[in-house]
């Protein structure tokens, strides 16, 4: 009311004085927040957009407290429990008990809900959403005594998120590039800040040395970091003409500075919340030969993983620049890929499915058997898959995966479909998260 009066002030001519631009904005934003701001002291994160997000919130809350109620249309939650702990762990709420959650601080600091800490170090194909990993860790009630496995660890999203949450983990992947990136994300969490101090002149020199294949460095983390940034730079440069103005060296420096900023922001959050990061163990290996690691038998509390979407993504080809540089034979790496080594004998009929798809499924089933073997009784499995299209036909990977899980002895608990926004015309429109328990 008071505002109205202020806006309707008379001018010296007896007419109404127009409100200023600021006054209009102010009045609008107050009115607006009346409609869209959730009311309550435990509220949804603004990043919650889909029904799947609502299901994720429910999963998390179930793992973090026994007593909660979600009010979806009001975008708020009522809960009882250890609020401090929930605030540190939850990935879908902005405030708990009127105080910001750690996750909302992360989103504010990095300006993104997924590209935080070193998750965005390199654009590895088929990466997880870290938020989903965090959700599953909460849902499975994992803590500092638990240990997680990702046997298709790729660039190490699951292991990195576990490290950030102070939980032990092991990541296995068959590609040397994936292993290198996962190790890097791991090591950067523990590096001394002084090791990241480079002048523009230093960086130009490093770039030139890498170009001439003369790059050497005593610190292995910095050695690998510079290479990863170089590979990303060359790839981005080749694909996007708008980088022409920055030039390759300019882009390299920009990318290095971005990583340095990520380091500073991550350390700021670590300090603010007194977090304890835990390093992961990263292993180069083949899931089909997982039993070679005898110590993995019945060792893990949870497996959070995603097999290659072999038909839609060329994982190895994407990293051609890196493999050429490192002198790694891509064909050899590819031959170890799921569905590539199979000698053609099938254990069951696959109807009209193309032979290569059938071979892939044979290996997928064997992988799930091996995962089962690594878990403790009551251990949890979350496996994230998408249905790709082969020769114009959708292939039923989600249902096959679910069936394989049940066939090897898992109890199915939940299947959540997570649409990939804006993916209407893509080969993969969304992914499913299949959640199981080993009896
Ligand atoms: C969907 S990607 C996983 C991406 C990962 N979640 C991330 O966030 O980076 C699947 C991964 O499976 C790996 N892979 C394929 N065949 C494999 C095998 N036989 N053993 C282990 N890993 C394999 C690929 O190298 C690829 O990194």
Q: Indicate which CATH number applies to the domain containing 292.
A: 3.40.50.150
First to last CA, the chain: 63
What are the structure tokens assigned to 288, written together?
């089909």
pLDDT of res. 2:
45
The whole domain housing 221 covers 193-273
Q: Which residues contact 86 (CB under 8 A, 6 or more apart)?
A: 64, 65, 79, 93, 96, 101
Q: Which residues pair with 170 in a beta bridge?
A: 149, 281
Same domain, 240 and 292: no
Distance, CA of 164 to CA of 150 (rounded, Å): 15
Alpha-carbon distances of 286 from 197, 227, 339, rounded to whole Å:
37, 25, 12
Contacts made by residues 53-61, CB under 8 angstroms, sequence distance 24+: 53/92, 55/416, 56/91, 56/92, 56/131, 56/132, 56/135, 56/416, 57/92, 57/93, 59/135, 59/136, 59/138, 59/139, 59/414, 59/416, 60/89, 60/90, 60/91, 60/92, 60/135, 60/138, 60/139, 61/90
Pair 102, 44: CB distance under 8 Å:
no
Same domain, 267 and 285: no
Length of the chain: 439
Ligand 1 in contact with 157 (CB < 6 A)? yes
In a domain, 23, yes or no: yes
**Among protein residues, the one whose CA lies closest to atom 18 of ligand 1:** 286
Pair 110, 265: CB distance under 8 Å:
yes
- Beta strands 393-394 and 375-385, pairing class: unpaired
DSSP summary character for residue 156: T
- Phi/psi of residue 368, nearest 5 degrees: -70, -35
Helix H or strand E encompassing 418: strand 411-419
Pair 26, 20: CB distance under 8 Å:
no
CA of 151 to the centre of ligand 1 (A): 8
In a domain, 250, yes or no: yes
CA of 172 to the centre of ligand 1 (A): 8
Same domain, 289 and 433: yes
pLDDT of res. 391:
73
In a domain, 390, yes or no: yes
How buried is residue 406: exposed, middle or buried, by Cβ count under 10 Å (0-12/13-18/19+)?
A: middle
- Work out how many domains the chain is built from and give that number: 3
In a domain, 9, yes or no: yes
pLDDT of res. 313:
58
Pair 204, 253: CB distance under 8 Å:
yes
Torsion of CA 436, 130, 420, 57, to 10 degrees: 60
Measured from the Cα of 316, ligand 1's closest atom is 25
Same domain, 163 and 293: yes
Same domain, 286 and 397: yes
pLDDT of res. 19:
75
Residues lower than pLDDT 50 in the chain: 1-5
How buried is residue 56: exposed, middle or buried, by Cβ count under 10 Å (0-12/13-18/19+)?
A: buried
Local structure of 304: helix, strand or coil = strand
Distance, CA of 42 to CA of 83 (rounded, Å): 10
Same domain, 155 and 247: no
Same domain, 368 and 338: yes
Measured from the Cα of 124, ligand 1's closest atom is 9
In a domain, 48, yes or no: no
Same domain, 286 and 359: yes
In a domain, 266, yes or no: yes
CA of 17 to the centre of ligand 1 (A): 66
Measured from the Cα of 181, ligand 1's closest atom is 9
Same domain, 266 and 211: yes
In a domain, 69, yes or no: no
DSSP summary character for residue 400: H
Can you say how many angstroms the Cα of residue 425 is from the centroid of all Cα atoms in its chain? Answer: 23
CA of 424 to the centre of ligand 1 (A): 25
Same domain, 298 and 393: yes
pLDDT of res. 215:
95
How buried is residue 130: exposed, middle or buried, by Cβ count under 10 Å (0-12/13-18/19+)?
A: buried
Same domain, 200 and 264: yes
pLDDT of res. 7:
54
DSSP letters along 11-65, please?
Answer: -TTSSBPPPPHHHHHHHHHHHHHHHHSPPSSSEE-TT--SHHHHHHHHHHHHHH-
Distance, CA of 44 to CA of 40 (rounded, Å): 10
Q: Which among 84, 93, 134, 141 is positioned nearest to 114, based on CA atoms? A: 134
Ligand 1 in contact with 175 (CB < 6 A)? yes
In a domain, 260, yes or no: yes
CA of 152 to the centre of ligand 1 (A): 4
**Among protein residues, the one whose CA lies closest to atom 5 of ligand 1:** 154
Same domain, 169 and 253: no
Q: Which residues contact 366 (CB under 8 A, 6 or more apart)?
A: 288
What are the structure tokens assigned to 172, written together?
């296995």
CA atoms within a 13 Å half-sphere pointing along the CA-CB vector of 233: 25
What are the structure tokens assigned to 177, written together?
């590039």
pLDDT of res. 346:
81
């Amino acid at each position: 009311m008071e505002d109205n009066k202020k806006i309707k002030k008379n001018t010296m001519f007896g007419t109404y004085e127009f409100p200023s631009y600021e006054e209009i904005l102010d009045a609008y934003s107050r009115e607006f927040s009346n409609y869209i701001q959730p009311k309550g002291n435990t509220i949804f994160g603004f990043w919650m957009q889909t029904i799947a997000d609502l299901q994720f919130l429910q999963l998390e809350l179930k793992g973090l407290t026994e007593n909660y109620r979600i009010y979806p249309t009001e975008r708020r939650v009522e809960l009882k429990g250890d609020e401090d702990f929930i605030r540190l762990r939850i990935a879908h709420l902005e405030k708990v008990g009127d105080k910001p959650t750690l996750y909302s601080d992360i989103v504010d600091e990095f300006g993104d809900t997924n590209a935080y800490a070193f998750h965005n170090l390199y654009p590895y194909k088929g990466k997880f959403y870290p938020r989903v990993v965090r959700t599953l860790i909460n849902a499975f009630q994992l803590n500092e005594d638990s240990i997680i496995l990702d046997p298709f660890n790729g660039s190490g999203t699951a292991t990195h998120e576990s490290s950030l949450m102070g939980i032990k983990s092991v990541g296995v992947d068959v590609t040397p590039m994936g292993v290198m990136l996962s190790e890097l994300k791991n090591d950067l969490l523990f590096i001394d800040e002084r090791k990241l101090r480079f002048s523009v002149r230093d960086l130009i020199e490093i770039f030139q040395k890498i170009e001439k294949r003369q790059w050497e460095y005593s610190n292995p983390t910095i050695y690998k970091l510079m290479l990863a940034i170089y590979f990303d730079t060359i790839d981005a440069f080749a694909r996007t003409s708008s980088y022409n103005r920055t030039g390759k060296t300019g882009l390299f420096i920009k990318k290095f500075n971005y990583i340095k900023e990520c380091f500073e922001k991550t350390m700021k959050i670590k300090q603010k919340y007194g977090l304890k990061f835990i390093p992961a163990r990263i292993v180069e290996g083949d899931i089909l030969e997982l039993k070679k690691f005898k110590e993995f038998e019945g060792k893990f509390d949870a497996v959070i993983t995603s097999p290659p979407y072999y038909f839609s993504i060329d994982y190895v080809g994407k990293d051609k620049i890196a493999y050429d540089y490192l002198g790694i034979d891509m064909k050899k790496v590819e031959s170890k890929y799921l569905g590539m080594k199979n000698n053609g004998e099938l254990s069951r009929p696959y109807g009209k499915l193309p032979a290569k798809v059938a071979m892939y499924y044979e290996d997928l089933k064997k992988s799930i058997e091996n995962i089962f073997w690594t878990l403790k009784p009551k251990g949890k499995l979350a496996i994230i898959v998408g249905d790709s299209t082969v020769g114009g036909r959708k292939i039923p990977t989600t249902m096959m995966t679910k069936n394989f899980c049940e066939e090897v002895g898992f109890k199915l608990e939940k299947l959540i479909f997570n649409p990939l926004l804006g993916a209407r015309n893509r080969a993969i429109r969304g992914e499913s998260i299949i959640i199981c328990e080993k009896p």
